[in-house]
Each structure stands twice: as C-alpha cells, then as structure tokens.
Amino acid sequence: MKLPRWIHQFGSPKYFYELSLWLSRWVAIVCVICFVCGLYGGLVLAPADYQQGDSFRIMYIHVPSAWMSLFIYMVMAVAGGIGLIWRIKLAEIVARSSAPIGASFTFLALVTGAIWGKPMWGTWWVWDARLTSELILLFLYLGYIALQSAFEDRRVAARAGAILALVGIVNIPIIHYSVEWWSTLHQGPTITKMDKPSIHLSMLIPLLFMVLAFKTFFISTLLIRARSEILEYECNASWVKQLLGSNNVTK
C-alpha cells in the first residue's frame, strides 16, 4: 500500500515547518474570534436553564473539553498508526505533540464535570461508567506521555507510544456509548443523538462556537508544538543548521 506523493511532500519536516507558522497564525485568529463569540453568547446572551439556572453555563467549557479529549486521542492514535506503518516522521511528531494537549482537555472535562456535579447531582464524583471511562482516558494520556520520556531514542519512543495509543483506542467508543449502554448518573447525549437535539437554539449556537474555538485552539497549539519538536528531531539536518546558524546547534 503506497501513499500518494503529496502526503510525503507535506510530511517532509522542512516543508511542514515553513507552512505551519503561517497556518497556525490564521487558525489562532479564527480561534480567538470563536472564543469571544462563544463566551459572550454563552455567558451573556444565552438564557438560564429552566431547571439548572445559571449553573448549566459550565457546559460551554465542559462539553467542548470532553469532545476534544476524545477527538485528540483519535488524532494521536491515527497519527501513531501512520507513523508505525509508513514510518513518517511528521506523523510521529503529531502524535507526540497531541498528548499533553489531550491530557489537559481530559483533566478540564473531569474538573468542570465535578464542579457541575456538586450542585446538580449532589456529589463531586461517582463511579458510573461515563466518569470512570473518562478517568481511564486521562490515565492513558499520562501513560503515553510517561512512555515518551522513558526512551532515549525518539523513533523508538514513537513506536512504543503508537502501540499504547492503538490499544487504548478501544476506550473511545466505550466513553461515547457508556451513557446509552448502561444506566449512568451522567445524562445521555444532547446534541449527537439522531433525532433533533434537545437543547434550545439560543443555547446551542454559543456551544457550537465554543466547540469550534476549542478545535482551532488544538490545531494552532499542535502546530506550534510540532514546530519545536521538528527542530529537536532534525537538529542535525542541514536546513535546521542553516536556519539557526550553524554555531548555535551543539548536537
């Protein structure tokens, strides 16, 4: 199975390094705009909920973080798999750079959920299927990060990490469907269910802005992280030496 030529070209660290600066800036601008719209819409324009009052507004952070925690894991596992099979350096870099961002979003989802849970449910934490599987996801991220720093050689670390990420991917559908398969304290899906979403439009639109803001935040942060990873990976390549001035590179 051969990949098309353009993927290899885009995957070349030098080409990516040049493109990513431009890309990350534009994505960051989109992110800031969406953040402002989403926060203003969610905290000011959206009405209070008929049952939860103003407490429901924490979902403008909680829901996008929880979605991103799953999405970034998928990115990490797919990039890891591509790196494992086709040995594309950039895929390894993307997987490695995604992990801390994903771990942060998972942590944020768990913490905001607990803050929400105390007044709404009456407890910070319960061991139901949704909360437990999300906690396992955090441990998977932390395990991946620990594994990355356990190897001297980055290429070996990337391969080991990719296998862990692929093994852990089985948790993703479990998290998503946990509220449907089993009885949980966590409520069922609001937006992703097949019939019409059970959230009022005035509350939904700011949420969608926040989702977009979180997604673009991830892309832009990923690009910046990947750039610095590339420099470390490629510190012996001639283009990096040229870029930094050969005297500054000691390795």
Binding site for another protein (CB under 8 A): 1, 47-52, 56, 59, 81, 84-86, 119-123, 126, 128-129, 163, 166-167, 169-170, 174, 181-185, 187-190, 198-200, 202-203
Is 187 or 246 the residue whose CB approaches another protein more closely?
187
CB of 17 to another protein, least distance (A): 26
Is 11 or 104 the residue whose CB approaches another protein more closely?
11
Question: Would you call 220 helix, strand, or coil by DSSP?
Answer: helix
Q: How far apart (Å, rounded) are the C-alpha atoms in residues 251 and 246?
A: 10
Q: Closest Cα partner for 59 from 225, 232, 190, 236?
A: 190
CB of 198 to another protein, least distance (A): 4
Neighbour count for residue 175 (Cβ, 10 Å): 20
CB of 188 to another protein, least distance (A): 5
Residues in contact with 88: Cβ distance below 8 Å, sequence separation at least 6, in sequence order: 7, 8, 11, 82
CB of 82 to another protein, least distance (A): 10
Is 201 or 236 the residue whose CB approaches another protein more closely?
201
CB of 24 to another protein, least distance (A): 30
CB of 155 to another protein, least distance (A): 14
Is 29 or 85 the residue whose CB approaches another protein more closely?
85
Q: How far apart (Å, rounded) are the C-alpha atoms in residues 60 and 39?
A: 8
Q: Closest Cα partner for 13 from 164, 243, 219, 237?
A: 237
Neighbour count for residue 148 (Cβ, 10 Å): 18
CB contact burial 67-87 (16+ within 10 A = b; e otherwise): bbbbbbbebbbbbbbbbbeee
Is 72 or 77 the residue whose CB approaches another protein more closely?
77
Neighbour count for residue 100 (Cβ, 10 Å): 17
CB of 32 to another protein, least distance (A): 26
The region that residue 231 occupies, defined by phi over 0 for left and psi between -120 and 50 for alpha, beta otherwise, is alpha
Is 116 or 218 the residue whose CB approaches another protein more closely?
116
CB contact burial 5-44 (16+ within 10 A = b; e otherwise): eeeeeebebeebbeebeeebeebbebbeebbebbbebbee
Is 28 or 135 the residue whose CB approaches another protein more closely?
135
